[in-house]
Amino acid sequence: MATKLTVLSNGSLRVDGNDFELVDAQGKPYGLGGRERISICRCGLSSNKPFCDGSHKGHFEHNAEAFDLPAPKPAAPVAPPTAPDAGAAPLA
């Protein structure tokens, strides 16, 4: 099963799959105990962050409806560095 993330209305982000890893800011993996479904808190109220513990109920409202993001803007071209002018007077 491919990994699927579902944004739940008034709730968490649900992650389903049998081949995913959740890591902290330093890259250390969370021990998921073989789970194939976890819920990630997005309200900030969970006492078990980053996992959802249901604390959002009655305190977090978001109607999850999919939409298309605009295409990313192309990166601005970077000018290559120029070589010093061989005929310029040396700096004193």
Question: 24 with 40: CB under 8 angstroms?
Answer: no
Domain boundaries, the chain: 1-65
> Quick one: pLDDT at residue 80?
81
Domain at 1-65: CATH code: 3.40.5
Find the helix or strand (DSSP H, E) in which 66 lies.
none
Alpha carbon distance 82, 36 (integer Å): 54
> Quick one: pLDDT at residue 79?
80
Q: Please give the chain's pLDDT, 92 residues, in tens.
A: 799 999 999 999 999 999 999 999 999 999 999 999 999 999 999 999 999 999 999 998 999 999 999 999 998 888 887 766 666 666 65
pTM of the model: 0.73
